Structure 1
Amino acid sequence: MLIPYKVDNPSKGIPQITLGLIIANILVYAATTTNFLVINDEALLKWAYLSGQPSLISLFTHLFLHINIFHFVGNMYFLWLFSRSVEGRLGPTAFLLIYFIAGIAGGLVQGIFIRTFAAEQGIPILGASGAIMGVMGAYLYMFPWSRVHVFYWFFLPGTFEVMAFWVIGSYFLLDVIGGLISGLAKASKGVGNLAHLFGLITGFLFCKAIRAKRDTEALSNVKATLSNPADFSEMSYWNLLTVLGAEPDNIEALKTLMDRAGGEAKKESLDRAMRSAGPDLIQKAPALVADYLTSKNGDMEIYQPKHILKLASIMKAEGRHEDALRLYEMLVQCFPNSEDAEMVFFRMAQIQWDQFKDATAALSSLYKMQSHFPNSSLSSTAQTLRRDIQKSSKNQK
């Protein structure tokens, strides 16, 4: 007995479509079975895809029917095991297209086989197996080097790891053999081998047609490391770059790379990584971007003035006033003609006075604002702040 039980290919977020499909299958199974064990005859004849009396609606509904509890549990198990990574890579729309196109294609081919070769006609076709094999075909295309953990029981139990292409390829081979045996025996009942085969082929070709991204062996090895509770600090420099090549916004990997960016070459790698992550990283990890710009002399060309202004505001709100002040200073240095510079000078003066009581620096910022923007809309507010600073300074003397 061989049962895959884990894939070293962690997915991002909650696989909502996968969960939705499993819930839908549970509800349909509960409604169409007797005591949650075996499908009832009425549902079988009404909603299964009958090879002798095919209909368009049954091509869809047969994907949610299962003959018994073992058929149902097995399919849902494999759906959960492989679909999370596929949904995470392709997104909900493409994932659903693969699922239903593969399932319908598998049902059609199985029905044609029964009508053409089988000795017994009118056999119902049911189950999500063709659709799930389509998901596995997509997995094979995108993650061929992904490690799969397999449980075995031959006299004694144990586990081993193997590449995904060996696992899925073995199922493909078993279905080829099963299909040949069914064809030679003109059998129509039992496992729908052709539905499995054409479902898998459909999923694989769909991903090839849309040019879905494929993981390299090196990236799969890194993901295998990430799938276990491991510290990024233990990962090699080149593996970090491999992770960031596939996941530019991986915050933990970026933090680790930043900690190691001591030499000039590594600083260039950090700049490239931050450039790939882009300004959207400000919303996800503002402290990381602030540290990159202020402590690592980061590449300001990655960001526009509005991005720096937003980041500085976040730092100020979080109480990191020194970082906020440094970001404002960098903004006016790099973008002196920006329309935001007027507001930046004023905010600099506020922080310099309110947080650090540095009257000289605050008055200097207000003077720069007035000289650069003589008709500033903030003139009256700036005058009030200037008077408060001068008054407080005199009282202290």
Structure 2
Amino acid sequence: MAWEVQDDQVPFKKQYVSIVIILLNVVMFVLQLLDDNFLLEWAFVPAEFFAGQKLWTIFTSMFMHGGPTHIFFNMLFFYVVADDCESSLGHWYFLFTYLVSGVVGTLLHAIFALFAPASMTIPTLGASGAIAGLIAVYGLLFPRRRLRVLLGYFFIRLSARRYVLYFAVMQLALGFLLWNTSATAYFAHLGGLVAGAACAMLFKAAQIEPQPTQYSGWQ
């Protein structure tokens, strides 16, 4: 988990796509609580996907979560990085990046699940892959931005660029070390990170420098 050290003066209330994404996650979570069968219908199951069934779940699963803690921390970290990313990328390209990162993350998880048969029938859900894409965008567009990062029981300060590197190494290491034994889809995080980095590089190729909208007043 990480928090920005300095105030970027980008009010979250101006980032309309980010607000809609949070609301969708909350609505989907409430629906999960109200209907026990909702998860089975809308979560991503690799075996079903490769059988050509419930293909829509590659999108819907990124708006679902496994419990209150899961959605709370995902949305908290989304809140940290989403405002700057949306302000810089623009509403539509931000949405494109978020969705592509989530889809690519889920696909990479599904591919690795082929080599871990127990994972083929386990429902996969969560916004982590899509958020990992935003982590990559944040690190590439604001590489020197300082973050306060929670490591175990301690906080350290890292640049956004170093945090992305740390995040990538940790997901890769945990993905292989906890192969077929963890409930966390580490390869979905990696897939989202790569997709987000690709989207950010495309954006940077078309823009001389990201220019976040400057706002004045209290945030």
Give the TM-score taking structure 2 as reference length.
Answer: 0.85
The structure, 1 or 2, with the larger RCO (C-alpha pairs under 8 Å, 6+ apart) is 2
Other-structure match for 2:48? 53
Q: Quick one: which of 177, 191, 196 aligns to 2:173? A: 177
C-alpha change, 1:153 and 1:48, in structure 2 (3 Å) is: closer
Q: How far did residue 188 of structure 1 move? A: 6.1
Q: CA deviation at 1:122?
A: 0.9
Question: 1:42-121, aligned counterparts within 5 Å?
Answer: 42-54=37-49, 55-121=54-120
Deviations 1:214-245 (A, max 9, x none): 869xxxxxxxxxxxxxxxxxxxxxxxxxxxxx
Cα shift at 1:205: 0.9
Code of the aligned partner of 1:107? T
Distance in 2 separating the partners of 1:151 and 1:71? 17
Which residue in 1 is equivalent to 2:201?
208
Per the alignment, residue 327 of structure 1 pairs with none
Name structure 2 gaps, 5 residues minimum: none
Partner of 1:124: 123
Kindly indicate which of the two structures has a greater share of residues assigned to helix: 1
- Work out the CA distance in 1 between the residues paired with 2:208 and 2:170: 25
Cα offset for 1:11? 5.0
Give, as a single letter, the amino acid of the residue that structure 1 aligns with 2:42.
W
Q: Which amino acid aligns with 1:18?
A: S
Q: Check whether the contact 1:86–1:138 (CA below 8 A) recurs between aligned residues.
A: yes
Aligned-residue sequence identity (percent) comes to 25
User: C-alpha displacement at 1:21, in angstroms?
Assistant: 0.7
Asked if 1:15 corresponds to 2:15, the answer is yes
Which residue of the partner structure matches residue 378 of structure 1? none
Which residues in structure 2 correspond to 1:149-228 (within 5 Å)?
149-151=148-150, 154=153, 159-183=155-179, 187=180, 189-210=182-203, 211=205, 213=207
Alignment partners' CA distance in 2, 1:144 and 1:195: 23
Q: Which has the larger radius of gyration?
A: 1
State the alpha-carbon separation in 1 of the partners of residues 78 and 187 from structure 2.
Answer: 19
Does structure 2 conserve the Cα–Cα contact (< 8 Å) formed by 1:9 and 1:85? no
- One-letter amino acid matched to 1:45: L
Q: Is the 8 A contact 2:9 2:214 kept in 1?
A: no
Amino acid at match of 1:145: R
How far did residue 148 of structure 1 move? 1.0
Q: Which amino acid aligns with 2:120?
A: Q
| 1:52 Cα deviation from its structure 2 partner | 0.8
Which runs of structure 2 are paired with 1:344-363 in the superposition (5 Å)? none
User: Matched residues in 1 for 2:24 and 2:214: separation?
Assistant: 33
Shift of 1:180: 1.2
Q: CA deviation at 1:169?
A: 1.9
Aligned counterpart, 1:29: 29
Q: Which runs of 5+ in 1 are unaligned?
A: 35-39, 217-245, 253-397
**Contact 1:90 1:212 (C-alpha < 8 Å) held by counterparts:** no
The structural deviation recorded for 1:113 is 1.2
Q: Which amino acid aligns with 2:167?
A: Y
CA distance in 1, matches of 2:177, 2:42: 28
Alpha-carbon distance between aligned partners in 2 of 1:24 and 1:182, rounded to the nearest angstrom = 31
Return closer, same or farther for 1:251/1:76 CA change in 2, 3 Å cut-off.
closer
Verify the 8 A CA contact 2:139 2:160 in the aligned structure 1.
yes
Amino acid of the residue matched to residue 122 of structure 2? Answer: I
- 1:1-35 deviations in whole A, cap 9, x for unaligned? xx42225361545111111111111111111126x
Q: What CA distance in whole angstroms lies between the structure 2 residues aligned with 1:214 and 1:148?
A: 24
* 1:149, distance to aligned residue in structure 2 (A): 2.4
Residue pair 2:10, 2:214 contacting (<8 A) in 1 also = no
Worse-superposed segment, 110-119 or 169-178: 110-119
Quote the residue 2:2 is aligned against. Answer: 4
Q: What's the secondary structure of 1:170's corresponding residue?
A: helix
Q: Distance in 2 between matches of 1:57 and 1:27?
A: 17
Deviations 1:146-191 (A, max 9, x none): 111235674xx6x5432112222212111001111234xxx06511
**Match runs of 1:282-361 below 5 Å:** none
**Residue pair 1:142, 1:214 contacting (<8 A) in 2 also:** no
